[in-house]
């Protein structure tokens, strides 16, 4: 099953983002299609947050993301992020 269809995985990723970025929000308030980075992003994540998230992803899922451009493509939204973690 693609990650964007896996509600359990998406909730895990939301919790990971909130924890790693020290956000004072309920993980379930993150919408699956909201942009995670950029001026329109409700969470206002920055490059330091991206680095923290990428390290957590490597530790938890074994997925290595070393390029910042690749990270931004992967983390367009929670759905695209989940699809990277779990392509099928």
In this structure, what CATH number is given to the domain that contains residue 45? 1.10.1200.10
Domain count, the chain: 1
Query: Which pLDDT band holds residue 68 (cuts at 50, 70, 90)?
Result: confident
- d(Cα 35, Cα 65) in Å, to the nearest integer? 19
Record the tokens describing residue 62, joined without a space.
Answer: 């074994």
What is the three-class DSSP state of 8?
A: helix
- d(Cα 52, Cα 30) in Å, to the nearest integer? 18
pLDDT digits (tens, 9 = 90+) for 16-49: 999 999 999 999 999 999 999 888 889 988 889 9
For the question of whether the overall pTM of this predicted structure is more than 0.85, the answer is: yes
- d(Cα 33, Cα 8) in Å, to the nearest integer? 16
End-to-end CA distance of the chain: 5
């Amino acid at each position: 099953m693609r990650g964007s269809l896996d509600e359990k995985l998406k909730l895990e990723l939301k919790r990971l983002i909130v924890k790693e970025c020290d956000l004072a929000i309920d993980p379930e308030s993150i919408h699956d299609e909201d942009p995670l980075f950029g001026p329109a992003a409700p969470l206002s994540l920055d490059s330091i947050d991206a680095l923290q998230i990428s390290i957590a992803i490597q530790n938890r899922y074994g997925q290595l993301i070393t390029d910042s451009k690749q990270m931004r493509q992967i983390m367009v939204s929670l759905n695209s992020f989940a699809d990277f973690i779990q392509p099928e």
